[in-house]
Structure 1
Amino acid sequence: MGSTTGSDAGYDALLVVSFGGPEGPEDVMPFLENVVRGRGVPRERLLEVEAHYQRFGGVSPINRQCRELIDALDVDLPIYWGNRNWHPFLEDTVRRMKEDGVRRAAAFVTAAYRSYSSCRQYLDDIDRARAAVPGAPEIVKLRHYYDHPGFVAAMADHTREALATLPEDVRTGARLVFTAHSIPVSMARTAGPSGGAYEAELRETARLVVEQVDAGRPWDLVWQSRSGPPQVPWLEPDVCDHLEALHAEGVPAVTLVPIGFVSDHMEVVYDLDTEAADLAGKLGMPLTRAATAGTHPRFVSMVAELLAEPAPAPCPGTCCPAPARRPS
């Protein structure tokens, strides 16, 4: 498709907002401290997660993939990029936008679903960044896109590709296992306009992908990357527990589909490509993993299509409230 200006909605810039990730060994602990600030996460847990990052040279793939997405976008607007937890920080980016004369920007957030951490928290991040910059531009967050045909088509293509790499004798009976970041049950099932949306939207995305790939193939939605104190309930089952259960049932092979992520976070490359893959190897169960949306052409064009839509109505203040914190 041709370039999109966003002029119908009055945008004069596009802001890509993401989670951020470390880009060297010395970045890891400061990054993790930013992620968990105010949450009372024990130091031992941070050291455990730090070891995951250091195993990959202290570099998360997410920043590189944000740059690749930005390079692939075909929009006739200046593009800016700001992160929640690591450079380039959102506040610094908003300050640069103001200095450049941006007046009204559209924000594309690299999170497709509604929950506190993937919706309200980003809205709060944007509000804080704007409050810190006198004269900051207006920033309009684009809508959620879990069911957008571009996102679904990208994940369907990647799922077909991953299935095709399984040994032919187990391919027909392989189970599709969709994964997403687990969150506290209290966050997933909050009251209000978006109560229960996170799990429901993920199930809808999975259903739409299966419909395009192989409508009759069995599939499951499971969870990964939980953290926090063990006494706090999080969404289950965990992907590794589920692989063991499928093996016990006689399922011959699995393709993991990380629909909860639009690019390869450390959670994808460690929890799926390392832990889950190691477990599958021990079980003797062939396993492949579908790529995340990344820079698939339909996902890239989706961003331009969202930008060309009328500006979405602002989320109500009760949208995706923060869960009540329990003492750890």
Structure 2
Amino acid sequence: MAYDAVVLVSFGGPEGPDDVLPFLQNVTRGRGIPPQRLAEVAEHYQHFGGVSPINQQCRDLLAAVRADFAAHGLDLPVYWGNRNWHPMLADTFAQMRDDGVRRALAFVTSAFGGYSSCRQYQEDITAARAAVGPDAPVIEKIRQFWDHPGFVEPHIDAVRAALSRLDPARRDHTRLVFTAHSVPVSMADSAGPHGGRYTAQLTETARLVHTAAAPDLPYDLVWQSRSGPPHVPWLEPDINDHLTALAAKGVTAVVVSPIGFVSDHLEVIWDLDTEARDTATRLGLEYVRAETPGTDPRFVTMVRELVQERIDPAGADRRRRLGELPMWDTCPSVCCVPPRRPS
């Protein structure tokens, strides 16, 4: 199959105080989030001048990927579009159409399966193409990468670096805590042939990082950034509740590794660097947060390798993987369909 472009697809984020509420309304449209919850989350952004780091992180990744493509002779232009804030996907696809792009591959900045981490991006791509019209380029999402060395190895090194900052005398009472974005339990267990993969894939990534970085330490996978109505069950425990439980068991130091994320956007720097750190301080826990891949050269190389896999008909035979879970290149239409919300 011939492709004539790549598009980086991300979540998007506000870049000024006036952007915050419209951005959050885009994110939560149709989800029944109470206005007071939106106001609470908006305040988190205002602590940083109303600016989320995610758009600049995408610009940095975009520049790194373009340079890597050029250095390795991959002659494909790389575009960028977001699902929730500018540059919006429909605007990017319209530009691609005007530039003569007919078929492109999408790299989504989410490593895992599941509704909000994969299928919803597919739906947003479809909606954006429909908005552009019949001449919109065909967009095909490349595979998930939760166990690709280019994603896992930067997390491994980040955990090692974080552990080196702890007091060695506390090693016997140190815990490794992996975090990812919580989702409704119904989405984590969503229907379809690949449904329910979100927690399984995160569990696999946690195992891979733990085994290579700190096999002597106990570890847990916990959740952060819950945003839904209180009556809807979400994945638990929350990172703050978990820290409280660890302190009660005699743990004196924690390394927190946000393996659910590819960069240090607001849900990392607020939920972990601010709220969770404050919880740890109150409990008397020594607390270090491991970095995310960002523009680590291995992560940038991974983007190119995933594109080359799809371009080359034999690419699936050369996948670089560290895990043991099933892998697929494309998701069927019934994959990760969440249950209908009560009317």
Question: Do the two structures share a fold, i.e. TM-score over 0.5?
Answer: yes
How far off its partner does 1:167 sit? Answer: 2.0
**Paired residue for 2:165?**
165
One-letter code of the match for 2:29?
R
1:181, 1:225 within 8 Å by CA — same for their partners in 2? yes
**Paired residue for 1:223?**
223
- What's the % identity of the aligned pairs? 62
**Paired residue for 1:118?**
117
How far off its partner does 1:285 sit? Answer: 0.5
Gaps spanning 5+ residues in structure 2: where? 70-74, 312-327
How far off its partner does 1:224 sit? Answer: 0.5
Q: Which moved more, 1:129-138 or 1:118-127?
A: 129-138
**Paired residue for 1:181?**
181
Structure 1: 4+ residue segments shifted above 4 A: none
TM (norm. structure 2) is 0.90
- 1:24 partnered with 2:23: no
How far off its partner does 1:270 sit? Answer: 0.8
Partner SS for 2:242: helix
One-letter code of the match for 2:222?
V
**Paired residue for 2:33?**
41
Partner SS for 1:180: strand
Please give the per-residue CA displacement for 1:126-177, whole angstroms capped at 9, x wherever unaligned.
1111112231111110100001111111111111111111123224542110
**Paired residue for 1:4?**
none
1:180, 1:222 within 8 Å by CA — same for their partners in 2? yes
2:142, 2:329 within 8 Å by CA — same for their partners in 1? no
> C-alpha distance in 2, partners of 1:77/1:106?
10
Partner SS for 1:15: strand
Please give the per-residue CA displacement for 1:214-253, whole angstroms capped at 9, x wherever unaligned.
2232110000011211111000000000001111111120
2:142, 2:330 within 8 Å by CA — same for their partners in 1? no
Please give the per-residue CA displacement for 1:251-291, whole angstroms capped at 9, x wherever unaligned.
12000000111112211111100000001111111000011
1:313–1:297 Cα change, 3 Å: closer
**Paired residue for 2:47?**
55
**Paired residue for 1:321?**
337
2:180, 2:222 within 8 Å by CA — same for their partners in 1? yes
* Aligned positions, number: 319
- 1:77 partnered with 2:69: no
Please give the per-residue CA displacement for 1:2-27, whole angstroms capped at 9, x wherever unaligned.
xxxxxxx5221110000000011111
> C-alpha distance in 1, partners of 2:13/2:171?
35
How far off its partner does 1:317 sit? Answer: 1.0
How far off its partner does 1:104 sit? Answer: 1.3
1:18, 1:109 within 8 Å by CA — same for their partners in 2? yes
Gaps spanning 5+ residues in structure 1: where? 1-8
Please give the per-residue CA displacement for 1:186-214, whole angstroms capped at 9, x wherever unaligned.
01012221222000000000111112112
> C-alpha distance in 1, partners of 2:230/2:199?
21
> C-alpha distance in 2, partners of 1:85/1:242?
31
- 1:190 partnered with 2:206: no
RMSD: 1.3
**Paired residue for 1:150?**
150
Q: Which moved more, 1:104-113 or 1:160-169?
A: 160-169
1:326–1:273 Cα change, 3 Å: farther
> C-alpha distance in 1, partners of 2:332/2:9?
20
Partner SS for 1:16: strand
> C-alpha distance in 2, partners of 1:211/1:326?
42
How far off its partner does 1:313 sit? Answer: 4.5
Partner SS for 2:256: strand
1:195, 1:320 within 8 Å by CA — same for their partners in 2? yes
1:112, 1:146 within 8 Å by CA — same for their partners in 2? yes
1:276–1:131 Cα change, 3 Å: same
